[in-house]
Structure 1
Amino acid sequence: MSADLTDRPVLVTAVGGAPGFDLARMLQHRGYQVIGTDANAYAAGLLLPGLTPRLIPHSSDAQYTSALLEICRTLRPAALIPTDEGEILRLAEISDHLDVLGVRTWLPTPAAMTACHDKAEFHQRARQHGVPTPATWLPDELDRIPDGLDLVVKPRRGHGAKNVQFCRTVRQARVLCELVDDPIVQERITGSEFTADCLIDRAGTVSVIPRWRLAVRNGLAIAAATFHDDQVAQTVTTTLAALGMTSLCCVQGFVSDGDGPARVVITEVNGRIAGAFPVSVAAGADLIGQFLGGLFGRPVDHDRLRFTPGIHLIKYVDTIAAGPAPLAAVRPIPAPVPVTDLVGGPR
């Protein structure tokens, strides 16, 4: 255990999702005290034995930041690790207040997070730096789509494969654009899908641990296997440099047959830990230990992020609690407190 965290807990957000749940549980197994937050009272991670659970407003709620700061003020975590991209965007607003409270964070820049969150912005940024990405059109650009392409209609700022629709004609895409909020249309890419767990230190050095997405359910890889591929690693590294990413994140894409320059296509970058990251840890990469070290200002040892290919992961839905009142241990969302009252000064 890091000496920085012996007496104070780590706060992990969004513990109802796979990234937050697995991260909170892994930190507990390593001996850390963990505070878990989520906006859903039925989030499974809030019921992890030994975890300190707190309900919090959704990141889109105006009271989110004041509620989070109140939790930090009362429970005094040494570090805060967000696992939801919407929360990361909000944390940029209160980074100074977290510093005053002594809560460490290691977040991507707002510009990098905007590019991750906005698929149209990501496509434009990636293409400017020569990163292969799916052809992308906004709803008023559909006349530019060539005939004969399979297409995907998805929310421009969505995640988790929610409201993703497939079609074969521009006419069908027009109809789907009426049904999907704030949509974009992309060329459908085929091949072997992968996710790469990545840690970028403050000097810009990158470690890339790719894994095949062997089975996917609702956007989450429920079966995965690590692999080595130099072209994948280089394309992922170029993508991260184009966005100016730092800290812990994940990159998704496809590998097609053949050896051409467009063999690897990047579809998105998420500025958070991935849902199936435990397979990278099982493959020997000290992903969490090196991230925590970097969080507290120590150099990242990239030699300790080497990994073994062919290591597999299988995810399964388990029962966390069953009984008359499984949520009794979860504290309610605290009453809103003005931000100025939490840290003793104006924003």
Structure 2
Amino acid sequence: MPTTRTRPWRILVTGVGGAPGFDLARSLMRHRCQVIAADCDPYAIGLRLPEVTPRITVPILDPGYQSGMLRLCAELRPDALVSTVEQELPQLLTLCRPLAEVGVTTWLPDPPAVEACTDKARFAAVLTEHGIPTPHTVLPDEIDRAPAGPLVIKPRHGQGAKDVHFCQTLEQARVLCELVPSPVVQQRVKGAEFTADCLVDRSGRASVVLRHRLLVKGGLAMVSATFYDQEVEQHVRAALAATGLVGACCVQGFICEDSPQRVVLTEANARVGGGFPAAEAAGADLIGQFLCGLFRQPVDHHRLQYKPDVCLTKYYETLAISERTWQ
């Protein structure tokens, strides 16, 4: 991580109610950063982490989001802002200049990369254009072009496993499209799930840490195990280049050993993955090197090498107990 400092970096992390933001805040504190933990939900667990500066933010869809974020940064003067909420990235892109004017560094992908990561239909189109295996994806008005066999219906702009449904027929898919907000219809892929935790530096060089998603609950990998696979890594690197992702990000997919297409990629996220601590446990200095890139210092990709077969299990813990004082 950057070493030419007389005081700790002060980092504003948004979305600390989710696993990516919560674990990122913890990791940054282990790297001796001061963390401003932010979330629009007053019940967000990351607001109760010891030693953070907690702040409740304006919701993303609120007209006052941008002015609220600028006020927060003007008040607390963070050195950098790191978002773990992809839905706020389009707004943060428009704030880059005013944030810089108050001394806040950001490291955000370009608008096309943000679109590819927040729009599942666009992600599928980008990968298809580049010849990268991904599930056949159609919109509701194209449902007659959907592939035969098991299907999955999910929100076009969703995250995690919310509003994701599986079905067998087009008739069932049509009904589900009426229930799921802004849906896409995809070929269902079966195989071994994996996530690639990635760091793409400012020159475009990428490091990739692969982990199996051995136990998944609500879209979050509760048990992960690192592994090597050259073919998977090649496809991940191709997806990173095709989408234009930068900084800390992740790519998900399946390994389908009995299928003609062994590796299929399903999505990418322009943020740290919810299970990235597995990469760190396996020896990759993911957050330390992310800090180097964030503050425009060289990323040491040798320090992003990792060991396979390192298994990490996430668990629930109680951070704070207090008497209820609200109605």
What interval of TM-score do these two structures reach, taking the shorter chain for normalisation?
over 0.9
Equivalent residue number for residue 210 of structure 2: 210
Secondary structure, counterpart of 2:284 in structure 1? coil
CA contact 2:224–2:278 (8 Å) conserved in 1:
yes
Equivalent residue number for residue 154 of structure 1: 154
Distance in 2, matches of 1:186 and 1:218, equals 19
Distance in 1, matches of 2:180 and 2:160, equals 15
Equivalent residue number for residue 322 of structure 1: 321
TM-score w.r.t. the length of structure 2 is 0.96
Identity over aligned pairs, percent: 52
Q: Deviation per CA, 1:177-208: give whole Å up to 9, x if none.
A: 00011111000000000000001111111111
* CA drift at 1:29: 2.2
Structure 2 counterpart of 1:298, one-letter code: Q
RMSD: 1.5
* CA drift at 1:258: 5.0
Secondary structure, counterpart of 2:121 in structure 1? helix
Q: Deviation per CA, 1:53-80: give whole Å up to 9, x if none.
A: 0000111211111111111111111111
Query: Which structure 1 residue ranges, 4+ long, deviate > 4 Å from structure 2?
Result: none
Q: Deviation per CA, 1:74-131: give whole Å up to 9, x if none.
A: 1111111111101222100100001101111111111101011111111111100011
Gaps of 5+ in 2: none
Distance in 2, matches of 1:269 and 1:197, equals 10
Q: Deviation per CA, 1:279-338: give whole Å up to 9, x if none.
A: 1001000100111001111111111100000111111111111111599xxxxxxxxxxx
Equivalent residue number for residue 43 of structure 2: 42
CA contact 1:20–1:83 (8 Å) conserved in 2:
yes
Distance in 1, matches of 2:292 and 2:110, equals 19
Asked if 1:59 is matched to 2:60, the reply is: yes
Distance in 2, matches of 1:26 and 1:305, equals 15
Secondary structure, counterpart of 2:166 in structure 1? strand
Equivalent residue number for residue 274 of structure 2: 275
Distance in 2, matches of 1:302 and 1:7, equals 23
Distance in 2, matches of 1:121 and 1:281, equals 31
* CA drift at 1:156: 0.6
**184-193 or 8-17, which moves further after superposition?**
8-17
Equivalent residue number for residue 239 of structure 2: 239
Secondary structure, counterpart of 1:203 in structure 2? coil
Q: Deviation per CA, 1:228-258: give whole Å up to 9, x if none.
A: 0000100000011111111110000000115
Asked if 1:303 is matched to 2:309, the reply is: no
CA contact 1:5–1:78 (8 Å) conserved in 2:
no
Equivalent residue number for residue 336 of structure 1: none
How many pairs align?
325
TM-score w.r.t. the length of structure 1 is 0.91
Gaps of 5+ in 1: 328-347
Equivalent residue number for residue 33 of structure 2: 32
Counterparts in 2 of 1:271 and 1:65: CA distance versus 1, 3 Å: same
* CA drift at 1:259: 8.4
Structure 2 counterpart of 1:311, one-letter code: V
* CA drift at 1:144: 1.7
Distance in 2, matches of 1:288 and 1:194, equals 20
Q: Deviation per CA, 1:16-35: give whole Å up to 9, x if none.
A: 10011111111112221110
Secondary structure, counterpart of 1:93 in structure 2? helix
Distance in 2, matches of 1:130 and 1:6, equals 47
Distance in 2, matches of 1:270 and 1:234, equals 18
Equivalent residue number for residue 169 of structure 1: 169
Asked if 1:256 is matched to 2:253, the reply is: no
Distance in 2, matches of 1:74 and 1:175, equals 49
CA contact 1:60–1:86 (8 Å) conserved in 2:
no
Secondary structure, counterpart of 2:266 in structure 1? strand
Distance in 1, matches of 2:265 and 2:282, equals 23
Structure 2 counterpart of 1:157, one-letter code: H
Secondary structure, counterpart of 1:223 in structure 2? strand
* CA drift at 1:7: 4.6
Structure 1 counterpart of 2:58, one-letter code: P
Structure 1 counterpart of 2:133, one-letter code: P
Secondary structure, counterpart of 2:15 in structure 1? coil
Structure 2 counterpart of 1:82, one-letter code: S
Equivalent residue number for residue 19 of structure 1: 20
Asked if 1:192 is matched to 2:192, the reply is: yes
